[in-house]
Structure 1
Amino acid sequence: MKIAVLGTGGGARAHIARLAELGHDVHVGTRDPHATLARTEPDMMGTEPFKDFLAEHPGIELHTFGDAAAASDGLVINGIDGHNAVAALSAIADQLAGKTLIDYAVPYVYRHESEHPWPTPWGVMPKLDPCDTDSLGEQIQRALPRTKVVKSFVTQEQTTVVDPKTIGGGDHTMFVAGADTGAKQQVTDLLRSYGWNDILDLGPLVRSRGMEMYAHMHSAIGFALGGHFGLKIAR
């Protein structure tokens, strides 16, 4: 299957490598392929230059966002940072029309002013915007009415999303939310190919608000444990 991954950060790379391993034809999107390939220094998260990643994964194609989305058979993974996602995706609305877009972005705002900042090992914790009365997933769906948006992957590190057995033998829960039943089934099928057994459909896309707001709790638990972990829903 031809699958597009939009973004070149650490999370996107986890999906790119795993999808290629599973035999998919992966098309990667970035704002400016020439600029992306010209970078020689790690990014703000310490991730190696993308050209080094490509050298280790022959056969992966790098395009603009629009060309990558157009190349997909119908499934696109959004790895664009939350602050820029709506604008970047709106610009390629025609290429995304009729396709399923899996959104795992968190609507973080970095370097914000806070009366009571939350210090973390890597700086002040970003704030969520939107929050409570809206979600990034819903904003993307409103901007892309011809696209089937499914919120998923967002409650876990992407390295664990693509290989759940690295935590607790895979005995934890992944969530999906969206308006289109068929699109959610596509995402469920992909998750099962990644190795997920417990997948909980939360219902309509409005419930992506809960998934996005969970990001702060996930960070708090991660800081307490000092590493990655899984979330299991006991019924």
Structure 2
Amino acid sequence: MKIAVLGTGGGARAHAARLVELGHEVFASTRDPEATLARTEPDIMGNVPYSQWLADHPGITLKSFGDAAGAADLVINGIDGHNAVAALTAIADRLAGKTLIDYAVPYVYQHDSEHPWPTPWGVMPKLEPCDTDSLAEQIQRALPATKVVKSFVTQEQSTVVDPASVGEGDHTMFVAGDHTDAKQQATDLLTSYGWSDILDLGPLVCARGMEMYAHMHSAIGFSLGQQFGGHFGIKVVR
């Protein structure tokens, strides 16, 4: 399958690398490929320059967001939550009729808070939207011709693509969306990654719960001494 991964951060890199291993034709993507390849310093999260990473992962083609989406059968959104709606709206025609699996968290950084949450790396970002809306729903409204599925967001992406790295894979992944066929595509991809416990939460409105879980995910990670990300899983026992 031809799969586009939108974004060049650590999560997007994890998906791109794993998808190539699984035999897919993978298009990584960024706003400006030339600028991305010209960078010589690690990114804000400490990931090596993308040109270096790309050289170490043959079989991945870097394109612009629009070109990657247009060439793909399935699209994974790893664009940061603050910029996702605008970036995806700009390429809406390339996404029409396709499934878009969204794992972005709608974080707002460097915000003013009356009651800040200190973390080992600074003040916890706030979620916007939350409670009465979700980023996934905003994306779906902006892209009515696209089938949006929310998934992957309750776990670090390095674990999403390799669930067996935690508890031999015995933990739960979630999907939500308004299109049954699109959720099946997401489920099939998760199964190929190695997931055996995949829980369909129902319509896309359930993305609100998944996105708001981001704070709980961080809290668990901090309690385990994991300052960045979290190498653990959650299991729905039923």
TM over 0.5: yes
Q: Deviations over 1:101-148 (max 9, x none)?
A: 000000000011111111111111100000100000000000000000
Equivalent pairs, count: 234
Alpha-carbon distance in 2 for matches of 1:119, 1:37: 35
> What residue is the counterpart of 1:8 in the other structure?
8
Instruction: Work out the CA distance in 2 between the residues paired with 1:10 and 1:129.
Output: 22
Residues of 2 paired with 1:226 and 1:165: CA distance? Answer: 21
| Structure 1 range deviating more: 12-21 or 115-124 | 115-124
Larger mean Cα displacement after TM superposition, 114-123 or 196-205: 114-123
Q: Aligned with 1:5: secondary structure?
A: strand
1:77-96 matches, within 5 Å, as: 77-96=76-95
Q: What amino acid does structure 1 have at the position aligned with 2:218?
A: S
Which moved further from structure 2: 16-25 or 52-61? 52-61
Secondary structure, aligned partner of 2:18: helix
- Give distance in 1, aligned partners of 2:90 and 2:104: 17
Please tell me the residue identity of whatever aligns with 1:88. A
Quote how far apart the aligned CAs of 1:226 are: 2.1
Matched, 1:231 2:234: yes
Distance 2:39 2:109 in 1: 22
Matches for 1:91-170 after TM superposition, within 5 Å: 91-170=90-169
1:39 maps to a residue whose letter is R
Mapping 1:202-213, distance limit 5 Å: 202-213=201-212
Structure 2: gaps (5+ residues): none
Which residue number corresponds to residue 57 of structure 2?
57
For 1:141 and 1:124, how far apart are their aligned partners in 2? 30
Query: What secondary structure, in the 3-state scheme, does the structure 1 residue paired with 2:3 have?
Result: strand
Give, in whole Å, the separation in 2 of the partners of 1:213 and 1:190. Answer: 24
1:47 deviation in Å?
Answer: 1.0
1:149-192 CA-to-partner distances (Å, cap 9, x unmatched) read 00000000000000000000000000000000000000000000
Structure 1: stretches of 5+ with no match in the other structure: none
Runs of 4+ in structure 1 off by over 6 angstroms are: none
CA offsets 1:54-76 (integer angstroms, 9 cap, x no match): 01011211111000000102x10
Show the counterpart of 1:215: 214
Output the CA distance in 1 between the equivalents of 2:82 and 2:183: 24
Which TM-score applies when normalising by structure 2? 0.97
TM-score for both structures, normalised by structure 1: 0.99
Give how far 1:16 is off.
Answer: 0.3
1:173 aligned partner = 172
Q: Whole-Å Cα distance in 2 between the matches of residues 121 and 48 of structure 1?
A: 22
Percent identical among aligned pairs is 81
Q: How does 1:173-212 map to 2 (within 5 A)?
A: 173-212=172-211
